[in-house]
A = this chain, B = another copy of it.
Amino acid sequence: MSDWRSIPSENKHREFLEKFSAILIDFAFESVSRDNPVSRWRSASYLQEILNFDLLEEPKPQKDLLLLANKILKYSVKTGHPYFMNQLFSGLDPYGLAGQWLTDALNASVYTYEVAPVLTLMEKTLTRKLLSMFYKNDNGCEFGDGLFCPGGSFANGTAINLARFFFRCEKKDSLVKPTLFASEDAHYSVSKWANLCNVDVVLVKTDDLGRMSVDNLKICIRQEQKKGSSLFMVMATAGTTVLGAFDPLIEIAEICQDLKIWLHVDAAWGGGLIFSKKHCGLLRGIERADSILFNPHKLLAVPQQCSLFLTKHNNILTEAHSKGATYLFQKDKFYSADLDPGDKYLQCGRRADVLKFWFMWQAKGSLGFERHIDHLMSLSAFFKDEIEKKKHFELVTQPCFINVCFWFIPLHLRDKDSISNYEEELSKVAPKLKGRMTKRGSLMINYQPLREKPNFFRFVVQNSGTDMQDISYVLEELENLGESL
């Protein structure tokens, strides 16, 4: 008989859930072990055959479900493994994982106090804390506002919407050809969401280190002013995706202030530095931003997804977004409607992404996050030093943050950079090595081209379980993989 009811029943499900969670706990330790591969690469057709994803009429028994779970775990990439360095997230934080599991058990949607009393208060406290950290506002008064977003792209889109709303309110004017500025190294979500919001984007040139050129920004502004565009925002980045560059926030803030336009700082990647006394200087000027995007799921290794949009404007989220839906935000509730956060959101139903972050923070303290970051920065500095020492490797740019971009130079290309097809040949190296490492399961590290620069690797690390020996391993493994090229 089909187990169709959407509620757990003691006699049918307890043993199943116990076995299931035991499998997951074993996985948590095995998947991060250096004795096990970071991935077990298989072709799509192989996976389709052994997993059989088809959705059928008939139910499967519990023993088959446990087998399926085991296969899913086996053939998925181990993003918590110390050798997973492929994305701007990694690690498998034990308290973050516990926080996720707790979130799932609650199965809540965070829009009203009545259905999510604990979670709405938790969101409020955590948002206020981050506002006080980023905006250096410690006097305890209500300052600014924030949203939890399903990822950084969404938060960047929200910023565009608010900047436009702000412009309309300030200038009491509709916008002709509304135009925003972002650097050519800004995240691609800026262009995607500008399309959605129906505004134009002007891409400002970057300097050698990948930072927005203030001179070029000024030129772009003048050009757009001549065209009669409505300039309404600058999107700066604190920690670009590939090079890890920090745009010069103070100079950009001056320009925005002069023009009375919105400054948004995409600190999705770099924002975590706010926890480190030693390294938070990279964020200097961020306190002047009208809005900030910060993804704890990146640098802080909070589980996927945890993304915050913060703004210094007290009421703008409510003013720009609220619709007062009467089925959720009744005016005659038996408690204060101020406790309901939902109406200022662009989402309606919303997963409680706050809980895992809050729980990790309780477990580690701010000091734990600081130590985590300082460790990652040391690893990255060590990696960079090693790259500079070794003749198989060449830095793409001098790093200032976690990202270390480098070429692996195989033997047949060493000291051959004067040959005509050097760059073409060099660009073939990274994809080949990437294929080899993934199939071997020994390492996952990302590569990409950037403008005129041929394919290069990007070292990043967010997993503070990684140590100096792992860094040496990564370098050795790259040499091994590239030996026969």
Residue in chain B with minimal CB distance to A46: B117
| Complex interface: stretch among A229-237, A342-350, A476-484 | A342-350
- In-complex Cβ contact of A8 among B94, B323, B339 (8 A): B94
- Is A225 an interface residue when CB atoms closer than 8 A count as contact? no
- In-complex Cβ contact of A431 among B157, B333, B358, B372 (8 A): B333
Complex interface residues of chain A between 96 and 148 (CB less than 8 A to chain B):
96-98, 100-102, 104-109, 113-119, 121-122, 124-126, 129
| Complex interface: stretch among A21-29, A202-210, A254-262, A406-414 | A21-29
- Is A330 an interface residue when CB atoms closer than 8 A count as contact? yes
Cβ–Cβ < 8 Å partners of A124 in chain B: 53
Asked if residues A114 and B97 are in contact (CB atoms below 8 Å), the reply is no
Cβ–Cβ < 8 Å partners of A464 in chain B: 4-7
Residue in chain B with minimal CB distance to A24: B105
- Is A170 an interface residue when CB atoms closer than 8 A count as contact? no
Interface centre among A24, A348, A366 (most CB of B within 10 A): A348
- Is A152 an interface residue when CB atoms closer than 8 A count as contact? yes
Q: How far is the CA of A77 from the CA of B58 in the complex (A)?
A: 33
Complex interface residues of chain A between 411 and 441 (CB less than 8 A to chain B):
427-428, 431-432, 434-435, 438
Q: How far is the CA of A64 from the CA of B365 in the complex (A)?
A: 13
- Is A285 an interface residue when CB atoms closer than 8 A count as contact? no
Given contacts A97-B104, A104-B303, contact A115 B92 (CB under 8 A): no
A-B contact pairs, 23 of them (CB 8 A): A2-B368, A4-B368, A5-B465, A6-B96, A7-B92, A9-B94, A17-B25, A21-B101, A43-B335, A47-B117, A55-B366, A57-B365, A68-B359, A76-B116, A154-B346, A187-B348, A188-B323, A192-B323, A193-B346, A196-B196, A330-B449, A333-B434, A334-B438
Known pairs A3-B368, A7-B465 / 20 extra A-B pairs, C-beta < 8 Å: A3-B363, A6-B301, A8-B92, A13-B28, A20-B102, A27-B105, A55-B125, A55-B361, A58-B365, A59-B368, A60-B362, A68-B359, A72-B102, A76-B116, A92-B105, A107-B304, A150-B154, A150-B351, A332-B431, A335-B435
Closest 8 CB pairs of A and B: A7-B465, A334-B435, A150-B150, A6-B301, A6-B91, A4-B368, A53-B125, A100-B104
